[in-house]
Amino acid sequence: MRVFYSSELEPTHPLALACQHLNIALTPQPLIRFEAINAAPKLPYEVIFFSSPRAYEFGRQFITPFSAVACYAHGTAKHINSPISWQGNTPGNPSETAQEFHAWVGQRRVFFPVSDRSLGSITKVFSADQIEVLSVYQTLLNPIRIPTCTVYIFTSPSNVESFILVNSIPQGAHVIAWGDSTATALLEAGIKVDLIQSGSDSLDWERILAPWVKP
């Protein structure tokens, strides 16, 4: 029995602990890598929004004493070392997060440091003259062959795209998608999704996995 997770994972993460308790192997393996893009915003801004931990990693140098920091959800917030003025609470529903953030911003200008593969889930609710969207890093596919697993957990559309280049889902395996955009990528690749989740830290992983990994 084996579980694949398309990202790095700390040994103390609830998923890692659940796999240990259930006595099943865990393969945490990112299938993408990242490179910085040399770029800088051209216009002043009052709010900077980080959509992911990676956006913060490559865009934190653009935090200024005059810019309020906002982020997508708790999964990003826990990586940010600066005071956070606004944080989304619906990671599985980017449309709702976008509307709530837009209402909080009001008329202020917002800077979005993003990946070159950003889906624009948050930015699309803003008028073009209120925001600046800048690709500050590249998301590059890094396809790796994954051992046959019982459960496959995909954390992003890019990881799905990379996975299917050299892998396939075996018959009878179960698939979990991180959010609607990842689920859409899987369905477009012809892969059935058993479960869509919106956050990993607080999930009861043992309850989720147990019915699928029994001998």
Question: Is residue 49 a contact partner of residue 110, using CB atoms and an 8 Å limit?
Answer: yes
Q: What is the pTM of this model?
A: 0.84
Report the pLDDT value the prediction gives residue 202, as an integer from 0 to 100.
Answer: 57
| Domains located in the chain, CATH noted | 2-31+144-213 (3.40.50.10090), 34-139 (3.40.50.10090)
Can you tell me the distance from the alpha carbon of 191 to that of 61, in angstroms, rounded to the nearest whole number? 39
Tell me how crowded residue 92 is: count the other CB atoms within 10 A of its CB: 15
Report the pLDDT value the prediction gives residue 215, as an integer from 0 to 100.
Answer: 62
Question: Is residue 167 a contact partner of residue 147, using CB atoms and an 8 Å limit?
Answer: no
Helices (H), the chain: 14-22, 53-59, 74-77, 94-105, 157-166, 179-188, 205-213
Greatest C-alpha distance within the chain: 59
* Residue whose pair of structure tokens reads 């994954």 in the numeric block: 146
Tell me how crowded residue 133 is: count the other CB atoms within 10 A of its CB: 17
- 25-28/32-36 β-pairing: unpaired
Low-confidence stretches of the chain (pLDDT beneath 70): 199-202, 215
Report the pLDDT value the prediction gives residue 94, as an integer from 0 to 100.
Answer: 87
